[in-house]
Amino acid sequence: MEVSIPRHGSQHQKQVSLFRPYCGAAPGSDHLGDAVAMFSRGELMGARQIQDGQPIAFSLRWQPGQLPADPCPCTLTVHPVPGALYRFSVPGYQVVLWFLEVCRRGASHPDGQQTPDMPRSFWTQLFSA
């Protein structure tokens, strides 16, 4: 999957400007435009890479707010596990911070064929709550 998204339109630039104070100092912040574009989509299909095992498919859906600190209701579905559905809410900027890492890892695979996975901080926060 290619994570690089063409940047165009003043609305997109406004969104990036809103998120910059929250995410601009984070590692991978040079991918902020791509991360905000991912956030605007409201859905990510991916796979969690398990050490010494097969990847586990998941889908993450969220309702993007207008402002970075707005609550962002999320739903994670783990596809191979019946009934594995997790609902949680975090500020929108937290989702964008996670996507910065997704974009940063995607950029290190120039062929664009890597299935996205959420960063370790996402999984840790989800399952320690």
46-99 tens-digit pLDDT: 999 888 888 999 999 999 988 999 999 999 999 878 888 999 999 999 999 999
Count of other CB atoms within 10 angstroms of residue 112 = 11
How far is it, in rounded angstroms, from Cα 11 to Cα 59?
26
Cα 119 versus chain centre, distance? 8
User: Angle 42-76-109 (CA atoms, 0-180°, nearest 5)?
Assistant: 70
Which residues are within 8 A (CB) of 106 and not within 5 positions of it... i.e. 6 or more apart? 1, 2, 3, 4, 112, 114, 116
pTM of the model: 0.85
pLDDT of residue 62: 97
Q: How high is the pLDDT of residue 80? A: 79
Cβ neighbors of 22 (< 8 A, separation 6 or more) are 68, 69, 93, 96, 97
Measured distance CA(63)–CA(89) in Å, rounded: 10
Confidence (pLDDT) at 115: 86
Checking if the pLDDT of 3 tops 50, the result is no
